[in-house]
Amino acid sequence: MRRPLIAGNWKMYKTPSEAVSLALELKQNIGTIQQLDMLVCPPSINIVAVRNALQDSLIKVGGQNLYWEQEGAFTGEISPQMLKEAGCEYVIVGHSERRHKFGETNEEVNQKTRAALNAGLKPIVCIGETLEQREQNQTEAVLDDQLKNSLAGIKADLFQNIVIAYEPVWAIGTGRTATPEQAGEAHEFIRNLLDGTYSVELAENQIILYGGSVKPDNIKQLMTVADIDGVLVGGASLKSDLFSKIVKYFQ
């Protein structure tokens, strides 16, 4: 049985004081819920403060991005080791906004995924198609390309530390959500791809999240889909009451 994971991506929101306030509210509202894994990913400047605010709770902390080198003259970047020592257990890799706004390639996502694993972090590797690609019936081709190349050369025994997130680009920040049927088809395709590329056992055990305008009023529909194991939440994770309602669905 795959254990659900609910991850909140705070993106470029919340000053340090705002981040601590939100973390404390979440700690009070959902900090003791044991039926699932919970995670928040604040901006890097807030990670330590949020981690401290969440101490003695079951809510974990992750990063939103990383660079693949351990250290060096890479102004503005953050290393896997920095995230690890700051208290992160997870890191988002290849989010659609990184791919489409900052030009990240599958090869760069692969390097970041490898670096995260080497540092003892669990990468949440994001894949997904644009609206144009979906309308041209390219969804499966895009998912195949992004998954295989983003995870190229990574041994099967490391997949227990990898989370995959399907996030249709056309549903992120738009208020549009993939229907359960659309999400289910994509998740089933991803799981079958893992089956064909690796093994049935790996595919069956792989955590695959859905991300794209997830809200309290659609979490039940999404989680009725057999191959959806949790959600990567954007805007709704910035409000304690909304994120708490999503998490409490699993109680």
**Dihedral pair phi/psi, residue 239, rounded to 5°:** -125, 120
Would you state the pLDDT for residue 223?
Answer: 95
Locate 180 and state its tokens.
């359960």
Q: Are strands 5-9 and 37-41 parallel, antiparallel or unpaired?
A: parallel
Would you state the pLDDT for residue 119?
Answer: 98
Would you state the pLDDT for residue 1?
Answer: 75
Q: Which residue has the tokens 């009451």?
A: 241
Would you state the pLDDT for residue 172?
Answer: 76
Task: Output the pTM of the full model.
Answer: 0.97
Per-domain boundaries in the chain: 5-248
For the domain with range 5-248, which CATH number is right: 3.40.50.300, 3.30.365.10, 3.20.20.70, 1.25.50.20? 3.20.20.70
Would you state the pLDDT for residue 178?
Answer: 83
**Tens-digit pLDDT profile for residues 165-188:** 999 988 877 777 788 899 999 999
Q: What is the DSSP letter of 212?
A: S
**Dihedral pair phi/psi, residue 45, rounded to 5°:** -65, -20
Q: In whole angstroms, give the CA distance from residue 210 to residue 132.
A: 20
Low-confidence ranges of the chain (pLDDT < 70): none
Would you state the pLDDT for residue 174?
Answer: 75
**Tens-digit pLDDT profile for residues 86-98:** 999 999 999 999 9
Q: Return the C-alpha torsion angle 40, 166, 90, 103, nearest 10.
A: -100
**Whole-number average pLDDT of the chain:** 96
Catalytic machinery residues:
95, 167
